[in-house]
Amino acid sequence: MNKFLRELTILLLLVWGSCLQSFGKKPTSRIEYQLNANWAFYRGDLKGGEGIGLDDSKWIPAVLPHVMQLEKKHNGGDVIYDGIGWYRRYFKLSNQYRGKKVFVQFEGVMNSCEVFVNGKSVGKHHGGYVGFTLDITDQLHFDQTNNVIAVRVSAEYDPLTPPGKPQDRLDFYYYSGIYRDAKLVVSDPLRITDELEPDATQNSGVFVHYPKVDKSNATVAVKTELKNDDKVARKGHLLTLLKDTKGKVVGQQRVSFELKPQERRRIDQQIEVKNPQLWHPYHPICYNLENRVYLADGVEVDRRSEQIGIRQIRYTKDGGFFINGEHLYMVGANRHQGYPYVGDAASNSVQEREVIDMKRGGYNAVRAAHYPHDPAFLEACDRHGLLVVECVPGWQYFNKAAEFTDRLESITRSMIRRDRNRPSVILWETALNETSYPLSVVKRIAEAAHAEYPGDQFYTAGDYFSHEETESYYDVFYKQVSKYPKDGNVMSNYLEDQIAVKPLLTREWGDGVGEKPRVSLTENEYEQMRQGRSRLHQMNGNGYFDWCMLDANPRMGGHFMWSYNDYTRGAEEETMYSGVVDVNRYPKFAYYMMQSMRPYQLNQKGVFTGPMVFIASYNSPEKLKTSSTEITIYSNCEVIELYRNGKFIARQTREERAKVYPYIVGKGGSPSFVFDAGEYEAGELKALAYVKGKVVAQNTVHTAGAAHHIEVLIPEYGIQPAADGSDMIPVYFKVCDKEGNLLHDAQTEIRIQVTGEGHLIGDGSARIAANPQVVEGGIGFAFVRTSKKSGTIHISASAAGLESGSKDVRSIRPTSSEILDGDHAVFCGKEEDHAVIKHTKWDKELLARPKVKFKSITATSAHPDFPVAHVNDSDDYSWWIADQDKFPQVVNFELDEATQVVGARIRLQKDSSKYRYKVEGSLDGITWEDLYEKECTGWDFKPVKLDKVMRFIRISILEVSEGRAGLAEVSLFQ
């Protein structure tokens, strides 16, 4: 009874406290204000940009997430903005906040920044992938006096901050800006500390783990650090509550404390939960954990809430991955976070939509390549059940400077503190991706990571092959092969070469080799189908040798396809079309191929239903095989029937098709179904999918007629846009015939109009070509940003000669609180003010020059399947590979005559391998001149200036980190 009265008293005090707050009295507990709206932005550097009296009236009005310059959809080749920018945000605080602690939190600022409050610096930060928290209390004005936060952001090249690689040699983009959310947090001086404060340690904030988990009982261990920033000692108690999905308290614990001024203390608590609802990718049940700090008089002074999931994981060397004692095979993909026009600056709802799309697409896991992704993305992974491999920021680069390693360790620790409570994060890739670096650094980062998260629920990952010396520093390994294939063919796979060192996953597969690794939306249906067929063949055990045979390897715990989405990158002008969805996330055929890997028995309410069938054809009039003799269907069902124009064509069973793809089916995936319908016939193709003799799914495609209208499409996710001035809505525009069939080859120019409570991002910028825009594969795309007033947003699109299309969407009031704007001039700048258009790079000019013709090409040795002629066949994905393991291996080129060679482009065979090679030139083939020597990965194929007259050139490959010497393509330019 006493316990009941005590809790009732606390509840009444809470209600009384909230009533006082509503009448303008001093608030007692933590308040979080959204800080995304009402910013001003200046593109470029500016002396005194932090000044209080600065005239910023000509600055550009901005909202977060924000990229410092909008870019074209296809922006590869190091052409994006990578300079300086300034941000300013005004706000006011009343006297009720005097005596409180006030913090500003940034989730991501690319790539480094300095923050000022009222003209004074409050902190600097390096690295754009993990956020930071700054105490700004001492610089603030109260009494409703203006305050201004100013942030100087640099997207300039920084070799000392991981990843550290120059953007013009990078296989993705860093982009720029305050590109994730920002908050203002007000708390009592007696508070729960923050994991990302400058002086944070592994004890900071809240750390949740689970010493015991089974179906009948679970122990939830909570470590909470408190700090007393007051000038006097404070007494009180920490009450930690665990609530289920209905808000019912299922466990709690109270611990008393007394803290001296400036004292920190970690409080350990354990909550026992009977019959827990365990978190699993296919039933991702989350609890709400509340940490409440009370004074001795019962007044609540701080509160933190977060969703957690009770689960237990383990990896075994031979069995793979287990969650809550049950085996689970990971079917995953690699994801980059960039989008058209806005780069990495996507709102929280866009992040959640992506998670839902991946779950619908058949995936139960994602590798967040090659850096920590947005907290909103990971929160959606928790909510919808997508397992995550979280990666430290790194890609084919290491800097020997001590500062680089110091920052790598700091970022690693911050990443773990930020995301250690997430049930979705089941593996931490603490290795720099595809990078060789000192073992001492490997050891240092491994020890730091395990110190941050002690116990048996924390696993790290790295590559094994060519990194064998790191065996003791990672818990899970990729690339567990014992040697280069004995026949010298990198596409050979031998089960005896697969070794059992640690638990096995494949981090990347599907790109760079095979029948059709890359395809754009603009390509025809046959090319679209070939990408899916290529990857089915690879999943069944016929891929690159260090992919470890994928589904054909009995020890394989799961794999991650490269890649989920198309993306742009600094190293190449052409967009990387390796995704199963476009840069704008519209699905290609291979999306549905991977969707068929999910067993039909699985259903997840609000996300997907189990049975599916998809015809990989448009039944186009081009008389392609995909509309006649090779009609491919993806389905996870037992029996498929195909009909054309109402006539039965054939019936195929999963059992018979499993003979073609036995290993895929053995791992729970599905084969493709391929039908020969004879001669082409326009009209309808219809597929019926059966389970236990009943039709459970069907799909129909029709030959498209003449373009008739535009359809405005906003896919359904159960997400309503928030009227916070920051939220974004992805919108597609389809060119259709009269019956609504997509014209997959349309290249129509469309014009978009948005009215009501939203606006089109990039509208009016001819530079980025968002409006008007030319559709690709019949599909247009745009982002619409909400206003700060809830209501209807009307979106329409038109094109010459076509009927217009439109759609309305309604925004709702946001649930978050916003700090009110301060006093300032109207920001009247325009989006294109001071826009930077990079000049054409020298390498692009070089690549447009005439190529030098070769009279002959010879090599020290050549594997029969990879002849030396492949180095000059205009194909980056056909290779010369040596037939010997020894070095050097030399390739000699003879020109028709002595020629002024302006430059060379040399692409090596394996993207992720490290090479050391030398290039020499000669006039007579006897006396040789060293032109240059280089050590790099296969991704470094930027053209090199030569400006030499020569008749002979030779490339000597002196060393390779893994495998044999190899070249993909060699071009000389006049």
Confidence class for position 27, pLDDT limits 50, 70, 90: low
Name, in order, each residue with C-beta under 8 angstroms of 16's C-beta and a sequence gap of 6 or more: none
Average pLDDT over residues 901-924: 93
Quick check: 912 and 941 in contact, CB under 8 A? Answer: no
Percentage of the chain modeled with pLDDT above 70: 97
Is residue 268 scored above 90 in pLDDT?
A: yes
Tell me: do 648 and 585 sit in the same domain. Answer: no
Is residue 10 scored above 60 in pLDDT?
A: no
Q: What confidence score (pLDDT) does residue 844 get?
A: 72
Is residue 230 scored above 80 in pLDDT?
A: yes
Q: What confidence score (pLDDT) does residue 776 get?
A: 98
Tokens standing for 609?
A: 């239903």
Quick check: 566 and 333 in contact, CB under 8 A? Answer: no
In a domain, 566, yes or no: yes
Q: What confidence score (pLDDT) does residue 623 get?
A: 83
- Give dist(CA 498, CA 446) in Å, integer: 25
What phi and psi, each to the nearest 5 degrees, are found at residue 593? Answer: -60, -45
Average pLDDT over residues 151-176: 96
Region class of 162: left (phi > 0), else alpha (psi between -120 and 50), else beta: beta
Which uninterrupted H or E stretch holds 655? helix 654-657
Quick check: 524 and 620 in contact, CB under 8 A? Answer: yes
Q: pLDDT (tens digit, 9 = 90+) per residue, 547-600?
A: 999 999 999 999 999 999 999 999 988 999 999 999 999 999 999 999 999 999
Tell which of 550, 577, 611 closes a domain. 611
Q: What confidence score (pLDDT) does residue 841 get?
A: 59
Which uninterrupted H or E stretch holds 103? strand 101-106
- Give dist(CA 799, CA 795) in Å, integer: 14
In a domain, 165, yes or no: no
In a domain, 543, yes or no: yes
In a domain, 30, yes or no: no
- Determine the angle formed by the axes of helices 439-452 and 402-419, rounding to 10 degrees: 30
Is residue 112 scored above 70 in pLDDT?
A: yes
Average pLDDT over residues 700-728: 97
Name, in order, each residue with C-beta under 8 angstroms of 815's C-beta and a sequence gap of 6 or more: 722
What is the overall mean pLDDT for the chain? 94
Q: What is the DSSP pairing of strand 330-335 with strand 556-561?
A: parallel
Tell which of 611, 632, 648 closes a domain. 611
Instruction: State the burial class of residue 524 (Cβ atoms within 10 Å of its Cβ: 0-12, 13-18, 19+).
Output: middle
What is the domain extent for residue 699? 612-617+619-703
Which uninterrupted H or E stretch holds 451? helix 439-452
Q: What confidence score (pLDDT) does residue 99 get?
A: 94
Is residue 294 scored above 90 in pLDDT?
A: yes
Tell me: do 484 and 344 sit in the same domain. Answer: yes
Q: pLDDT (tens digit, 9 = 90+) per residue, 428-438?
A: 999 999 999 99
Tokens standing for 27?
A: 């608030």
Is residue 478 scored above 90 in pLDDT?
A: yes
Confidence class for position 18, pLDDT limits 50, 70, 90: very low
Instruction: State the burial class of residue 826 (Cβ atoms within 10 Å of its Cβ: 0-12, 13-18, 19+).
Output: exposed
Tell me: do 691 and 742 sit in the same domain. Answer: no
Lowest mean pLDDT among 6-15, 531-540, 651-660, 942-951: 6-15
Average pLDDT over residues 792-803: 98
Q: What confidence score (pLDDT) does residue 29 get?
A: 87
In a domain, 294, yes or no: no
Q: pLDDT (tens digit, 9 = 90+) per residue, 234-252?
A: 999 999 999 999 999 999 9
Strand pairing partners for 359? none
| The model's pTM | 0.92
Q: pLDDT (tens digit, 9 = 90+) per residue, 387-422?
A: 999 999 999 999 999 999 999 999 999 999 999 999
Q: Position of tokens 């896991």?
A: 365
Closest CA to 410 of 396, 393, 387: 393
Q: What confidence score (pLDDT) does residue 942 get?
A: 81
Q: What confidence score (pLDDT) does residue 839 get?
A: 59
CATH number of the structural domain spanning residue 336: 3.20.20.80
Is residue 153 scored above 60 in pLDDT?
A: yes
Tell me: do 322 and 459 sit in the same domain. Answer: yes
Strand pairing partners for 917? 934, 957
Q: pLDDT (tens digit, 9 = 90+) per residue, 661-693?
A: 999 999 999 999 999 999 999 999 999 999 999
Tell me: do 545 and 486 sit in the same domain. Answer: yes
Q: What confidence score (pLDDT) does residue 973 get?
A: 95
Average pLDDT over residues 325-340: 98
- Give dist(CA 714, CA 666) in Å, integer: 37
Q: pLDDT (tens digit, 9 = 90+) per residue, 73-109?
A: 999 999 999 999 999 999 999 999 999 999 999 999 9
CATH number of the structural domain spanning residue 750: 2.60.40.10
In a domain, 77, yes or no: no
- Cα torsion 963, 969, 970, 971 to 10°: value is -160
CATH number of the structural domain spanning residue 934: 2.60.120.260
Neighbouring C-alpha atoms within 13 Å toward the C-beta of 884: 11
Q: What confidence score (pLDDT) does residue 943 get?
A: 87
Beta strands in 296-440 (DSSP E): 300-308, 313-316, 320-323, 326-327, 330-335, 365-368, 387-391, 425-429
Q: What confidence score (pLDDT) does residue 4 get?
A: 46
Question: Is the torsion defined by CA of 352, 565, 475, 669 positive or negative?
Answer: positive
Name, in order, each residue with C-beta under 8 angstroms of 126's C-beta and a sequence gap of 6 or more: 111, 112, 158, 160, 161, 407
Q: What confidence score (pLDDT) does residue 621 get?
A: 80
Tell me: do 737 and 884 sit in the same domain. Answer: no
Q: What confidence score (pLDDT) does residue 688 get?
A: 98
Tell me: do 412 and 533 sit in the same domain. Answer: yes
What phi and psi, each to the nearest 5 degrees, are found at residue 349? Answer: -70, -30
Strand pairing partners for 742? 736
Is residue 714 scored above 50 in pLDDT?
A: yes
In a domain, 160, yes or no: no
Tell me: do 650 and 782 sit in the same domain. Answer: no
Lowest mean pLDDT among 150-164, 337-351, 938-952: 938-952
Tell me: do 589 and 676 sit in the same domain. Answer: no
Q: What confidence score (pLDDT) does residue 820 get?
A: 85
- Give dist(CA 347, CA 656) in Å, integer: 46
Q: pLDDT (tens digit, 9 = 90+) per residue, 834-877?
A: 999 875 556 677 888 999 999 999 999 999 999 999 999 999 88
Q: How many domains does the chain have?
A: 4
Name, in order, each residue with C-beta under 8 angstroms of 5's C-beta and a sequence gap of 6 or more: none
Tell me: do 362 and 479 sit in the same domain. Answer: yes
Quick check: 422 and 403 in contact, CB under 8 A? Answer: no
Tell which of 656, 683, 703 closes a domain. 703
Tell me: do 669 and 717 sit in the same domain. Answer: no
Tell me: do 538 and 599 sit in the same domain. Answer: yes
Q: pLDDT (tens digit, 9 = 90+) per residue, 596-628?
A: 999 999 999 999 999 999 999 999 987 899 999
Confidence class for position 805, pLDDT limits 50, 70, 90: very high
Tokens standing for 504?
A: 């096995």
In a domain, 369, yes or no: yes
